[in-house]
A and B are shown apart, each in its own frame.
Chain A
Amino acid sequence: MRPNFNIHIKGRNLWKFCALMGLGIVLTCCVLQIYNINQPITATAGSTITITTRDSVTTNIDGGPILANFVVGILLPKGFAGAANTTVSYTSTLGNGQMQLMPSSVIEPSTAGSTNLSYSASMLAKFGIGNNLINDLEWVVFRSVDQVSISNGITILGNVNFQIKVGADGNTTIFKPAYVICESNDGLGYFVGNLSDPFFAFNNGARMTVNGPGDFNDLCDPQLTSFNPPKVLQNDLVTLTYNEGLDSLKLLQGNKLYLCVDTIYTSDGKKLTGFCSQTEQSQLLETSVTSNLYSLTFWPASFFKLSSTQTLVEMAYHIIDAKGNSVGLNDSKAPFIYKFSCN
Chain B
Amino acid sequence: MKQLQKLKTVNVLLFVLMLLVWTGCKTENVNPVTESVKDLTGTWRIVKANRNGTSLLPLVDSNYINFNKFSIIFKDGSYTLVNPLPFIVSQNGTYSLDNPQYPFTITFKQTGSTTPISTAFTYPIVNGVRILTLVFSPGCPQNTYSYSLQKVN
Which residues of A does B touch, CB under 8 Å? Answer: 229, 231-237, 239, 280-281, 295, 297-299, 301-303, 308, 342
Contact = CB atoms under 8 A, between A and B. Distances in A.
Contacts of A298: 64-65
Q: Which of B60, B63, B143 has the most CB of A within 10 A?
A: B143
A229 B64 contact: no
Nearest to B112: A308
A297 B60 contact: yes
A342 B142 contact: yes
A281 B90 contact: no
B9 interface: no
Contact of A229 (B52, B63, B84, B90): B52
Interface stretch (B27-35, B117-125, B133-141): B133-141
A309 to B, nearest CB: 12
Nearest to A234: B139
Given A233-B139, A234-B139, A239-B59, A302 B64 contact: yes
Closest 7 pairs (CB-CB, A-B)? A236-B139, A342-B140, A233-B139, A235-B138, A297-B59, A235-B139, A297-B60
Contacts of A295: 59
Contacts of A342: 139-142
B62 interface: yes
A342 B91 CA distance: 23
Contacts of A232: 139-140, 143
A281 B139 CA distance: 21
Interface of B: 51-52, 56, 59-60, 62-65, 84-86, 90-91, 138-143, 145
A239 B55 CA distance: 12
B90 A237 contact: no
B56 to A, nearest CB: 6
Contacts, number: 58
A235 B51 contact: no
Contacts of B141: 342
A233 B140 contact: yes
- Quick one: which of A231, A236, A280 has the most chain B CB within 10 A? A236
Contact of B65 (A229, A235, A297): A297
B65 A280 contact: no
B62 A229 contact: no
A207 to B, nearest CB: 25
Contacts of B140: 229, 231-233, 236, 342
Nearest to A135: B52
A281 B64 contact: yes
Nearest to A298: B65
22 contacts: A229-B51, A229-B52, A231-B140, A232-B139, A233-B139, A235-B90, A235-B139, A237-B51, A237-B65, A237-B86, A239-B59, A280-B62, A280-B64, A281-B64, A297-B59, A297-B60, A297-B65, A299-B65, A299-B86, A302-B84, A308-B90, A342-B142
A22 B60 CA distance: 50
B142 A235 contact: no
A229 B142 contact: yes
